[in-house]
Amino acid sequence: MHNNNSLTPPPYISNATATTTASKDNTKTTLYIILATALFSFLFIFSLPSSSSSRALITNRPDPALFPNQPISQTEIPSAPTPPSIAYFLSGSAGDSARILRLLFASYHPRNHYLLHLDLSATQTERDRLAVTVQTVAIFRAAQNVDVIGKADYAYPRGPSSISSALHGASILLRLASNWDWFISLSAGDYPLTTQDDLLHILSYLPKDFNFVNHTSYIGWKESKRLKPIIVDTGLYLLEKEEIFYATQKRQLPNAFRLFSGSSFTMFTRSFVEFCILGTDNLPRTLLMYFANTPYSYANYFPTVLCNSNRFKNTVINHDLQYIAFNKTFSKTPPSMKPEEFDAMIQSGAPFATQFQFNSPVLDRIDQEILKRHPGEVVPGGWCLGESNDTCSVWGDAGILRPGPGAKRLEKRMVELLSNDRYLSEQCLYE
């Protein structure tokens, strides 16, 4: 009994040892848990920016079926030049959402870029609805080339706010895309007369430094009616729509530069747009300040900048590529397009026309006979690979063009404008 008791360790020693061992094990376990939790949390937090960036990159990337990566062969000779890209600024007012969408569908091509603008007279609800509608169109989502301005401006046709709105839209398009070649501003009353395949096909054979705008230095009656009066355009500083008003005084014409007048429809090169917005030359800003209080300043500003610039005055083509109906009573506002104008309009070779009323039957005829477009759908082009009524539900390479009869009409018009250097004799003449 004594020997057995002597061999048995004291109970308190055994308990103390067990407690010490358990405490060490618990400490190690807790330390492992803390380290594992910290490591997992660190890795989780560290992975968040990477995951978010990847998702954003995937979301914002256009569909590769539209823009495939094609390796350039050193020995291959291209059969046709690379098609250009056009930046479109489509603008309207209250109640113009349907007209803007129809214009977008009629002028759409995946290679182009589109910025939609409803001015401040439209409600924010209408503007938001337009943006949501754009997002529901599959090809717009795939090409990632249609945007809507959320913070709108006023743009009065008779005031300088129209210049401000156009420059605002052009500056946004400069930031949105780096690969467009020409800038075109269209209003809700404009409409294309050729497919974009026709237009891009012809433009691909032209130098990319041509600026198209009707212009003249002959002022005539415009001196007293449009250049000497002083106005205040409320669209530049009021949130409510108010008419511009005239001052009683008039000013003298400038002698530091020559004034030119032209049309409100233009097609400008990217380099000229950058000159007006980003350039170091002060001429665009000086003229912008001069025309800030001039009626119908939009039609005067851009021709005056072009023709007073040594860099761009030799790039002007005296044609605005737009058809306007004409009659004897046409003075300030072009007349609305009528059905009897259809044949003359198409045969003019102009790629655009203006002054269409909402849902005009002339537009339906253009869609059916010229653009081959169904209501609510884009114009079929070489990139459309679908069948029957769903021609553009499946898409392919946006660089493939399929020009039609409209290209022939536009080609004939361009040949007339550029043959025998005729355009040189009509550039920025002092009359």
With CA atoms as reference, report the closest residue to 143 among 67, 220, 71: 67
Q: Can you tell me the distance from the alpha carbon of 274 to that of 242, in angstroms, rounded to the nearest whole number?
A: 31
Q: Which residue has the higher pLDDT, 213 or 236?
A: 213
Above 90 in pLDDT, residue 398?
yes
In order of their start, the domains of the chain are 86-426 (3.90.550)
pLDDT at 353: 95
Q: What is the pLDDT of residues 331-363, one digit of tens each?
A: 556 778 889 999 999 999 999 999 999 989 999
Q: What is the pLDDT of residues 420-429, one digit of tens each?
A: 777 787 788 7
Q: To 5 degrees, how large is the angle CA 299–CA 303–CA 307?
A: 165
Above 80 in pLDDT, residue 193?
yes
Tokens of 8: 């048995």
Chain mean pLDDT for the chain = 83
DSSP 209-245: T-EE--EES--TTHIIIIISEEEE-GGGT-SS----E
Above 80 in pLDDT, residue 309?
yes
Q: Which residue has the higher pLDDT, 278 or 243?
A: 278
pLDDT at 212: 95
